[in-house]
Amino acid sequence: MKVALVDLLFPPHCVACQRLGAWLCDDCLAKIETISPPVCERCGLPLASTQDPRLCAPCRTKPHQLDRLLASAFHSGPLRTAIHQFKYEDFQSLAGPLGSLMAEGWARLAPGGPEPDVLVPIPLHPRRQRQRGYNQATLLARELGSRLGRPIDEATLIRTKATAPQVDLNARERQENVRDAFACRNDNLSGQQVMLVDDVCTTGATLESAAVALQSIGARSIWAYTLARARPNPPTVLANTT
């Protein structure tokens, strides 16, 4: 109801270029740096033609809590602007077009692959959720779940630690910030193939911490899928742009 009322009072206009007609216009959609195969089977970053066809060099030695991490695009350009509006400016109307981008990315990145049993959005701490009024990861998971025909579990995984915002922290600080930040209320996801859903992956620390909580109740496998991810620094490979 709230989204429909906003659309009625404020006709859709592109959040990136202000053109009327859609929350993300065709021109800005075309500028989004989507990620396409071949990608690393562990971290999901694009692979250069000279690399191992399955794993990038860091993933051959670095331990991971996640079985696989994927993202539909890089966190840049119009998508970065849209995510900021969606997450911090109460533009919940963007859930539909951003969820569509995730569905298109899933079809591109995991065709014929194992489908998740259940989608689990990364939860906010209750205090943060009250302040914001909604959880952007939950809205994305609902949109993606409806397109993939998969159920959503919004109750099992909870955030028990009110962490500081990750945005100004380096990789090590991010990892410490979210250590033991999640827990599970029950073991309903035991034996399930779980797909964590979030808006942005920067270092993966939040997703890995959530994976630890799911492992503790016996989840069979844990993937993570985000709308966007930070570009590697320094960039070693380039994404396809469509």
pTM (two decimals): 0.89
Q: Which residues are registered as beta bridge partners of 84?
A: none
Q: How far apart are CA 148 and CA 150, in angstroms?
A: 5
Q: Which residues are registered as beta bridge partners of 20?
A: 13
Architecture of the domain defined by 35-229:
3-Layer(aba) Sandwich (3.40)
pLDDT winner (highest mean) among 2-6, 120-124, 202-206: 120-124
Q: How far apart are CA 137 and CA 101, in angstroms?
A: 14
Express each pLDDT in 82-112 by its tens digit.
999 999 999 999 999 999 999 999 999 987 7
Q: Which two tokens stand for residue 77?
A: 């350009």
Residues in the chain, overall count: 242
The closest alpha carbon to 116, from 157, 153, 81, belongs to 153
Express each pLDDT in 156-173 by its tens digit.
999 998 776 666 666 676
CA dihedral 170, 101, 224, 49 (to 10 degrees): -80
Portion of the chain with pLDDT greater than 70, in percent: 86
The helix/strand/coil state of 193 is strand
The per-residue pLDDT for 241 is: 33
Average pLDDT, the chain: 88
Average of per-residue pLDDT across 25-53: 88
Q: Which two tokens stand for residue 240?
A: 């396809």
